[in-house]
Structure 1
Amino acid sequence: MGTSDIQTKGLERFFGPLEARIMTILWSQPDSFIKDVQHKLEQDKPLNFNTVMTVMNRLVDKGLLVKSSGKPSKYAPVHTQEQFLSIQSRELLEDLGPLVVNYMFDAMEEVDEELLDKLEQKIKSLKEGRRHELES
């Protein structure tokens, strides 16, 4: 399994399998036509143009891709892959905050001292920032 395969597999946590493959292609080659994406996808197996077009237009409807007004249209991701993953991670952490913190503390037994020191510094910094906000 190549790096691209691993990245696509991880993206399937946020997308369906075909959506993940399409997003991976468009992150590496923004401003692509449907035919370009279809051609890349067909390196694995043949896919109907209308299927690819439907999925790409759904990604536009979800706010993940933008579509140019030209004919034929070009498609590009709204966010870079890094930005998308950062946004998704933040949302997930906000939803799971207390669970993540509990898990993190449970996992601390296996973490080296240097990482624990960095975490302690970060917590102190966050507390100081909140104190300043409250005093303002």
Structure 2
Amino acid sequence: MRGLGELEVKVMDVLWSASGPLRVREVLERLDTPRPLAYTTVMTVLDNLHGKGWVRRNRAGRAYEYTASESRAEAGAKLLRDVLASSGDAERVLLHFARSATPEESDILRRALNRRGGRG
């Protein structure tokens, strides 16, 4: 899965925060950007995100409604796997990350490994 541009990330934040599908106008109204955006700009970004597989869209009358294809956590995990796969040495990358992790990140990893170890 390809990475996202700055505006694409903001659009995905809106979709991930939504409780249901959104139309272009609703995404536009919820975007927090330093300058006003055109409706067509947001429509183009959503179309690009659909083409990249980040969002699903369903016809609702004459418009589309958009939802994220997967949760923020699922998308993050997929990106992490892509980085590890492209590194050529996943073990070295993971070990480097573990050594450089913040105390909070280390706690998260420890809790996850403990939960995983408790399952058969």
Question: TM-score, normalised to structure 2's length?
Answer: 0.70
Distance 1:110 1:42 in 2: 31
Equivalenced residues, count: 104
Q: Percent identity?
A: 24
Distance 1:90 1:60 in 2: 21
Distance 2:24 2:100 in 1: 50
Relative distance call for 1:67 and 1:98 in structure 2 (3 A) is: same
Deviation, 1:57, is: 0.6
CA RMSD, aligned part only? 3.3
User: Which amino acid is 2:15 matched to?
Assistant: L
Say yes or no: does 1:45 pair with 2:35: yes
Distance 1:79 1:28 in 2: 12
Deviation, 1:91, is: 1.4
- Among residues 82, 88, 105, which one is paired with 1:91 in the alignment? 82
Bigger RCO of structures 1 and 2 (CA < 8 A, at least 6 apart): 2
1:1-136 pair list within 5 angstroms: 14-29=3-18, 30-41=20-31, 44-71=34-61, 72-98=63-89, 101=92, 104=95, 108=99
Secondary structure of the equivalent of 2:89? helix
Question: TM-score, normalised to structure 1's length?
Answer: 0.63
Distance 2:67 2:46 in 1: 10
Runs of at least 5 residues in structure 2 that lack an aligned partner in the other structure: none
Query: Which structure has the larger Rg?
Result: 1
Q: Deviations over 1:27-48 (max 9, x none)?
A: 0114111001111126642110
